[in-house]
Structure 1
Amino acid sequence: MRHHWLTTASVGALVSLASPMHADAQEAATAADTQAEARTPDQVLQPVEEAPETAASSSAGTADLSDIIVTGSRVLRDGGASPTPVTVVAAEQLQLAAPGNVADGLNQLPAFRGSSRPQTAGAINLATSGGGGNFLNLRNLGVQRTLTLLDGRRAPPSATTGATDVNLLPQLLIQRVDTVTGGASAAYGSDAVAGVVNFVLDRNLTGLRTEVQAGISTRGDGGSQKVALAGGTSFADGRGHLLLSGEYANSDPIERYEGRDWALLGAGIIPNTAGGATQIRATNVNLNIAANGGRIVTVRRPNGTAIAGDPLTNFEFANAASGGGLDPFVAGTNRSAQFQQGGDGARQSTSISGGLQRSNFFGRASYELADNVTVFAEGIYGRSRSRFKILPSFNYNATAYQIYNGNPFIPADLQRIIDTRNSDADTTNDIGSFAVGRLNSDFPPITADILTRTWRGLGGFEATFGDWEVGGYFSHAESRVRQAYHNNPIYSRVAAAADVVRAADGSITCRAQPVPQGPVGVVSPPCVPLNILGSGSPSQAALGYVLGTNVSDLTYKQDVAAINISGTPFATWAGDVSIGFGAEARQESAAVTVDALSTAVPNFTGVRGLNVTGGTGNYQIGNAQPIAGRNTVREAYVEAAVPLLKESAIGHALDINGAVRYADYDRGGGVTTWKIGGVYEPVEGVRLRATRSRDIRAANIGELFGVGSQNQGTVIQPNGTTISYISYSGGNPDLVPETADTFTAGIALQPRALPGFTATVDYYNIEIGGVIGSLTAQQTYDQCAAGSALACSNVVATPTRLTISTRQLNLNRLETRGVDVELGWRGDVAGGQLSTRLLLGYLDKYVLSVPGAAPIDYTGEVGQLNANPKWTGVFSVNYDNGPIGLFVQERYIHKGVYNSTLVEGVTVNDNSVPARWYTDATIRFTLEDNASKPQLFVTANNLFDRDPPIAPYALGTIFRATNPLLYDVVGRYVTAGFRFRF
């Protein structure tokens, strides 16, 4: 668990389609539209108030895409004048690569790293992993640093970060996804540190569009279904337009390890007790502290002191179906306090991919009040539900079961041993109790069930007055997220139910009733005896008593009012000067309510055994705490684009662009962002560009007030041994704004000598000071060991417990830099049209600094839930010849280091992770002689069924064998379906 502190959202493949590369994308979209009449043009990333009809002809299927421009600015009308790299990906290309979900296609592009999705559900803390939602992550800088727009306006939020779950957007209406990847805060909003992602809709669709598909993995699991319908029509003699869409999609969770050899290996990283490197990455890793039926880990005298080396610790409890009793606990090799290789220890597992059920509905109506004034209203409603297994419940380490002498569930053979030892003259070995480490595999697993419902209403206008355009809107959005952990053990009840005696009438009963938890007046149900000695021993009645469901309900509200004005008031010798200015006011509020047991402090009065957990919350995991907060921001900006040179002896063109924005936060005060950039075209077909910007981001509601929760697990000490901890996460109201300095520079080529060929190369350098984020428990422990006073202030060690706070902090600095490359060619081949596209991303630096400790360079780290490969690439070939189309894509993830903080041969035996290639292919057939042009398609993702590399990481004492933030964990997946329109 390495980089939670940079959570989820982004887009990318940093190609400047403000450059000649844009023309290639336009041609590709034109060909696709001609064949399938599903408009997928590349277009301008700017609020629709300023370019209200750039895609107006898309519904008719006859648009001249040469008029479509991509600028990444609120004032530029010529994409070639944009100094900021912009990426455009047509919806059709995303569907060819990943038909299930637009976000799945985006996540394949090099600039996407560390995004959350169903495959990462449960992989990291639910508060930051998105819980199965699709939150995009640009450059692995985090969702909170990427501004997501829907048709140029803020998309409805779905989490306390203010980020949008892409699942909730009307995907059938998406024409393309535009991304500005640098210097965006001044023009678009002070939160756009990493960039801006704009989902552009086909607002003027006329007719009906339908899509139906189903998919399944070649292992027979992970089935999916999707059906979508969208339609549009004009009214009032063409002055009005109505647009409606609806979509339903379902994907089943994947929990079976069978057929996935990499998942069955039992890979983990454990202390090395055989000499050599401190830790080893090994397979067949099991727990040494627990068995499925329970292992005796400690034997205690009647006074509670432990008997060191007691021979009973070499035994475990047999399966209840075989009669119970004691069995020898077979020791593995390379044994440590927590783990061993081989042997009889238990092995924990979790879902490979979470299940996701989503639906959304969208409506839009527009009407021309006059030739130059249009009003419109929009409504969107989305619902998603993610379900996945987190892990089996467990009791070991500090929460091990305490079984006392006389417990009637103790097997007869063990009770005889206890009686014999307690009756002899030697009292030093008398047994009063023993601790049992158990993986509760016969309990139903702890599962997460996350329901998100989001809606937004929006109204606005667009007007033109001479050379000026004015647009404004007001929106109100609400998201309600219910997060439930089912089958979650309740500490006090587990302890009470395991401590049983035989009553006078011969029945088995709990020795004591736990004190009722929660508000006054709450009555706990009667205690039910729990037999945990042997797999299969617990009764259903006992499980019903000790297990519960803890629930947190988030309500997030956002109100936005904005106005944007742009025009060309005068000209220079080189052309029109464009000026834009505007203002926005935004208020966001969040409130979280939780169940009574999550907020109550456990009370073990009268209950023996499990009484050292401490802290707030009665459940084994979760225990979210209530929050309530509000944040208001008022912003104003001005932007100008000034041409300085046109068709002269010293160059073809020179343009500069600058912007300034002031944002006033009621928490964090006033901040100013700015950018300055320019484009120089020395000769036709060659453009040089550069941008320098200052971007500032204040903490969001989640970071300020944060949903606090309690978790537990183990951290690795500097000597390689492990130690158990309890962690508490949450917000920090004392956070101050973070400041980012961004520099980009690039070149775009479209040589006349090579028709159809385009190339762009862009360099970026981003430095974020005072970066807001939370370290993982392991990172906090490591940084404290390295001397960081800030980290050590969040670590508290007592003789019975290690407590680590993972709350939000202002860290020192995050620095990242790299290069993005795109090459493309399009032309006629063998009677058809062939287009190729290569996107490459090179990461040169990714360094995090924490106060008081040396910076850590995470460049190239691809293990430990990090996503920083030095090279990533996507190469695609698309060929159309009449009704037949073929698309093939290769995805590449470069080899990397497993853990940047480890040294191979010293602190780990193997610190390398090999590269991976994945192949995706789609074949499609279009009935061109049919008016609706139905299209049948079959897509195979991970065509050659490549396993992910083994790069294990620990969630407490549970290992996942690979990094789902980077690698495919599903395997070959086949989707078939059809699309048509009327």
Structure 2
Amino acid sequence: MTFSKQSAIVLIKTNFLLIKRIKRRIMAWCAFNDGTATCKKRSRRFHERSQTELGEMMYSRQLTLRTLLTGSIASFALLAGTPALAQVVEPAESDNDPLADSDTATAPAAIVVTGSRIERAGFDQPTPTTILGGEDLQEAATVNIQQALNELPQTYNSVSPNQSIANTSSGTAPVELRGLGTARTLTLVNGRRFVGDNNLNFVPTNLVDRVELVTGGASAAWGSGAVAGVVNIILDDELEGLTLGAQAGISSRGDGGRYTIDGSFGTQFAGGAGHFMIGAEYLHDEGIGIEGRLDRPWFGAGVVNLGNGEFELQPDVNDLAPFTFGGTILSSSLAGQVFRPGGALSAPRDGDFFSIYDTLIVGSPLDRLGSYARLTYDVGGATLWADATFGRTDVDQPFLTDPAGSVLVSNISASNPFLSPDIQQQLAAGGDTSFLLGRFSRDTFLMQFDSERETKEVAVGIEGSLGGSWTYDAHFSHGELDSKNRIHNSSVTANFLRAINATEVSGQIVCAVNADADPSNDDPNCVPYNPFGEGAASLEAIEYVTGTQMSDSVSKLDSAAVRLQGDPFSLWAGPVSIAVGAEARWEERTETVGELDEAYAFGTTLYGDPLEGGFSVKEGFFEALVPLVRAGLLEVDVNGAARYSDYSLSGGIWSWKLGGTARYGDLLLRATRSRDIRAPSIGNLFSANSLNIRPIVDSDSEGRGSNPNYNPNPTVTILTGGNLDLVPEVGMTSTIGGSYSPGFFQGFSMSVDYYSIEIDNAIATPTVADITAACAAGNAGACSQVVRDGDGTITTVFATTQNIAQFKTSGFDFEASYRMPVSRFVDAPGTLSLRALATYVDELISDTGSNRTDTAGVVGDPIQYGIPKWRGNLRLGYDSDRLGLNASARYVGGGEFDNERTIVNGEIDPRVYLDLGVQFKVSEQFTLSGTVKNALDTDPPFITTTYSPHYDVVGRFYSVGVRAHF
């Protein structure tokens, strides 16, 4: 057998599984002779040689055995590294020795697989992909991976410790691309789905090799949910040695303390055939309490009506006035008087009035643990592997003051025995027999949200080669997520109404229901409630009028998949590669609630009826890469994929993608068109129905007015909840763009891509107005949800989750990077790097049937789906053997605060946030680091709610860390 130069090149470019297995054996041999650290250092430094040069090196009879072996290691490092852009970047030519200092290195080449199921060197994927390295995540010093990803311009910060105030999303961390909802972004770990609603709190940051973001539809490759794109977190499964780390952070205002410890360990065994790794990360985030609002004057703002249809943003707007924490008399001769602790009355004072958001914290506290272990073993031509993960999050935070018991406007008897004799006399002198009281009872009904989420998942799999170009992989996984949610101090409506109605019998204050002539309404447990002044109610009364809402749920995910890839034949331009596979998935969820929840006993109901349901899906997919042209510098490829998904509840549906690339020298052009799907979730399908009776406005009244018995504003029965008749959403995505890596400008690359996503039959919970308006517009499905009597008057509306909405967004993504050795300019070590990312959003349209709005360029904090037109990141870095420095500028565009009201000062200016970082390698084992987020302490715009999804509401934040590797 003749080993030619071309054979060597083919070996390096295509036989990845073989190289991966060889690498472990070589590393064991090299470590035995030279030590593991030396071998790993050589592997990292081998960046200068191109793949062709490497083939020539292997072909040369002058190579020593050690050079050949370490060259094989380095070739794998070239092929698996992280590029600045989402295509294979050829290393620059160099006359340096392949094991020379890395200061002269350029970015290594990479194989990006998330946008396709075909893994082949040199394959320019047509789907735009952005990559974030694991070291970048570590340097970001954020609470979790999600927060680091939220700083990318393609993502939307819909859930974070600041965004989850006063809602039950605290403790979750999903990623959302394009502002289209977290359910339309598919998040994977090592290319696999995981249980837990894409909660990245469970993924340990210290094990991440890189994150690949496919910023376009990818359902043909990965299935349901990939309408806006895919986030694939790839862990470092080649981990060697022991690494320990710790980090601490605090805001410049002395709050928001954050502490993290992590560790990882990896080793080979059985002569390099086996590999074991394990890692864990624990974080304690203290959050930022109510007192933190005082140091952040942008909180507490409001929109004030100036009259004549104009409004103004103003700071410190107390929109709940004249309500007070102790209670304000709203009627009678004592109107305007405020109850003080102890029950005395006085005129209002400065500080008595407030906004509802003044009672909420700034940042949620969080304890989270993420851990992961992996075992691999090479057997013949295959690699067997097994994974195990365990994660846990704990949140215990003030929620909000229950409006059902706190904002009280009740008819209080002037002879209420909790009123002092003096106040009773003043009311009697004024001829008042009762009065209205307005009180925000934070002393009794400040709800506390307590949540524990725990995930456990195991997976087993195999990957190997069948000979030639054919490879395969298969896996099975099982995961469970246990959630326990509690909301303490919730108002129990019936008890509160009984307790607030007090009377005096034989000198003792009792509940009136126990003193009237009707014994059927007696409640021996009733304790009268004193509402006059903060702290007036007894502990026994508070215990009687409050309860704990509770929800316990178990979600399960079983997943199995098999994939086969190979080159069945060749055309005039080269081999045709195909990938074919099958997948199956089973999802189920069971939720139980407390007795009081099920009885709808709470005034503000967070959990209703229990939920139980599930579904399964069986899928098959096919993908092909067809080279069409190989003529000189011109290369043209076509890539197509199709997937058929058969859902147990809604039946079968197709998704597909067609794309192409054309490379001419340093220029790459690409385009895709895809049909993507998002299947309804278990909550969409099985949420229990609830009933409400209230007046509505009929938006489908045209032609009915001639009937004198028709009522356009009837009181109707409204049913809400899940809907088993839901079908998958369908999104159509188009992308077109390209990248340029000029040979005359070594180390520089740039790309520009246009995207357009349109989603029809989007799943949403419509309002009655949405449904009747959609019916008026001719939507037969909406009309079927409305029941009318013989006169045309609505009697019942089924406002269940429906395929009724439409979404559309389009814009441009820009990316550029430059990396060069400092030695090109001066005789000094180190490498300089620059990376810029930017996104322009031309439109973000949501249409619910009754309302169509474009929120691109609308950036006020209360606007749902609002998003800046422009976002961008610019990062400058310097790296050497001892020192690393980086500075990042995050640009967030401005726009309108609100596009539905005329706000005279509602034009929001853009913001630029400067982040600084330093890493100092004290020795081969120890590295110290420090970061400053928002170093200039740039203020956000006025905040009228609890947060902003676009702007930093915390302010300057410091972090320091230490890392040791052995």
**Secondary structure of the residue that 1:234 maps to in structure 2?**
strand
Match of 1:507 in 2: 508
Tell me which moved more, 532-541 or 195-204: 532-541
Matched, 1:665 2:647: yes
Tell me which moved more, 139-148 or 470-479: 139-148
**Cα deviation, residue 246, structure 1:** 1.8
Match of 2:28 in 1: none
Question: Quick one: which amino acid aligns to residue 722 of structure 2?
Answer: G
**Secondary structure of the residue that 1:753 maps to in structure 2?**
coil
TM-score normalised to the size of structure 1? Answer: 0.79
**Cα distance change on mapping 1:469 and 1:265 into 2, 3 Å:** closer
Match of 1:623 in 2: 607
**Cα distance change on mapping 1:410 and 1:149 into 2, 3 Å:** same
Match of 1:355 in 2: 365
Distance across 2 between alignment mates of 1:969 and 1:42? 32
Match of 1:552 in 2: 551
Q: Quick check: 1:400–1:437 contact (8 Å CA) kept in 2?
A: yes
Distance across 1 between alignment mates of 2:309 and 2:859? 20
**Cα deviation, residue 315, structure 1:** 2.5
From 134, 138, 156, the equivalent of 2:173 is 134
**Cα deviation, residue 296, structure 1:** 2.5
Match of 2:835 in 1: 837
Matched, 1:980 2:964: yes
Match of 1:302 in 2: none
Match of 1:808 in 2: 801
From 664, 671, 677, the equivalent of 2:659 is 677
**Secondary structure of the residue that 2:649 maps to in structure 1?**
coil
Distance across 2 between alignment mates of 1:547 and 1:770? 42
The total of aligned residue pairs comes to 841
Q: Deviations over 1:587-609 (max 9, x none)?
A: 10011110111111xxxxxxxxx
Distance across 1 between alignment mates of 2:130 and 2:858? 26
Describe how 1:247-646 pairs up with structure 2 within 5 A.
Answer: 247-258=281-292, 260-263=294-297, 266-270=300-304, 272=305, 274-277=306-309, 279-283=311-315, 284-288=317-321, 290-297=323-330, 310-312=332-334, 314-321=335-342, 324-329=343-348, 344=353, 347=356, 348-370=358-380, 372-394=381-403, 400-420=409-429, 431=433, 433-443=434-444, 445-466=446-467, 467-504=469-506, 506-512=507-513, 526-600=525-599, 616-646=600-630
Match of 1:42 in 2: 82
Q: Quick check: 1:179–1:195 contact (8 Å CA) kept in 2?
A: yes
**Cα deviation, residue 867, structure 1:** 4.0
Q: Quick check: 1:76–1:578 contact (8 Å CA) kept in 2?
A: no
**Cα deviation, residue 804, structure 1:** 11
Matched, 1:230 2:222: no
Question: Quick one: which amino acid aligns to residue 112 of structure 1?
Answer: T
Match of 2:793 in 1: none
Q: Quick check: 1:395–1:401 contact (8 Å CA) kept in 2?
A: no
Q: Deviations over 1:562-618 (max 9, x none)?
A: 111111111111111101100011110011110111111xxxxxxxxxxxxxxx342
Q: Quick check: 2:322–2:353 contact (8 Å CA) kept in 1?
A: no
Matched, 1:68 2:110: yes
Match of 1:50 in 2: none
Matched, 1:861 2:854: no
Matched, 1:143 2:182: yes
Distance across 1 between alignment mates of 2:761 and 2:308? 39
Structure with more contact order per residue of length (Cα contacts < 8 Å, sep ≥ 6): 1
Matched, 1:948 2:948: no
**Cα distance change on mapping 1:943 and 1:135 into 2, 3 Å:** same
Distance across 2 between alignment mates of 1:231 and 1:217? 32
Distance across 1 between alignment mates of 2:594 and 2:231? 36
Distance across 2 between alignment mates of 1:346 and 1:764? 41
Question: Quick one: which amino acid aligns to residue 610 of structure 2?
Answer: P
**Secondary structure of the residue that 1:587 maps to in structure 2?**
strand
For structure 1, the residue ranges without an aligned partner over 5 or more in a row are 1-28, 47-60, 299-309, 333-341, 423-429, 516-522, 601-615, 719-724, 797-802, 953-958
Question: Quick one: which amino acid aligns to residue 908 of structure 2?
Answer: V
**Cα distance change on mapping 1:546 and 1:343 into 2, 3 Å:** closer
Tell me which moved more, 732-741 or 577-586: 732-741
Tell me which moved more, 705-714 or 170-179: 705-714
**Cα deviation, residue 344, structure 1:** 4.1
Tell me which moved more, 378-387 or 778-787: 778-787
Matched, 1:85 2:85: no
Distance across 2 between alignment mates of 1:471 and 1:374? 9
From 678, 690, 694, the equivalent of 2:671 is 690
**Secondary structure of the residue that 2:390 maps to in structure 1?**
strand
For structure 2, the residue ranges without an aligned partner over 5 or more in a row are 1-39, 47-73, 87-101, 517-521, 700-715, 789-795
**Cα deviation, residue 74, structure 1:** 1.0
Distance across 2 between alignment mates of 1:464 and 1:358? 39
From 924, 927, 935, the equivalent of 2:922 is 927
Match of 1:647 in 2: 631
**Cα deviation, residue 807, structure 1:** 5.1
Match of 1:107 in 2: 150
Distance across 1 between alignment mates of 2:230 and 2:546? 44
**Secondary structure of the residue that 1:121 maps to in structure 2?**
coil
**Cα deviation, residue 413, structure 1:** 3.2
Match of 1:888 in 2: 887
Question: Quick one: which amino acid aligns to residue 337 of structure 2?
Answer: E
TM-score normalised to the size of structure 2? Answer: 0.80
**Cα deviation, residue 251, structure 1:** 0.2
Match of 2:22 in 1: none
From 272, 277, 297, the equivalent of 1:243 is 277
Q: Quick check: 1:599–1:625 contact (8 Å CA) kept in 2?
A: yes
Distance across 1 between alignment mates of 2:913 and 2:138? 17
**Cα distance change on mapping 1:403 and 1:261 into 2, 3 Å:** same
**Cα distance change on mapping 1:881 and 1:916 into 2, 3 Å:** same
Distance across 1 between alignment mates of 2:741 and 2:426? 86
Identity %, equivalent residues: 35
**Secondary structure of the residue that 2:464 maps to in structure 1?**
strand
Distance across 2 between alignment mates of 1:228 and 1:656? 44
**Cα distance change on mapping 1:631 and 1:617 into 2, 3 Å:** farther
Question: Quick one: which amino acid aligns to residue 450 of structure 1?
Answer: S
**Cα distance change on mapping 1:406 and 1:311 into 2, 3 Å:** closer
**Cα distance change on mapping 1:895 and 1:713 into 2, 3 Å:** farther
Q: Which has the larger helix fraction?
A: 2
**Cα distance change on mapping 1:552 and 1:396 into 2, 3 Å:** closer
Larger-Rg structure: 2
**Secondary structure of the residue that 1:443 maps to in structure 2?**
helix
Match of 1:732 in 2: 723
**Cα distance change on mapping 1:113 and 1:264 into 2, 3 Å:** closer
**Cα distance change on mapping 1:96 and 1:318 into 2, 3 Å:** same
Tell me which moved more, 822-831 or 199-208: 822-831
Q: Deviations over 1:925-969 (max 9, x none)?
A: 1024x3x2x1101111111112211142xxxxxx43x52x21212
**Cα deviation, residue 715, structure 1:** 14
Matched, 1:218 2:252: yes
Question: Quick one: which amino acid aligns to residue 423 of structure 2?
Answer: L
Distance across 2 between alignment mates of 1:818 and 1:890? 22
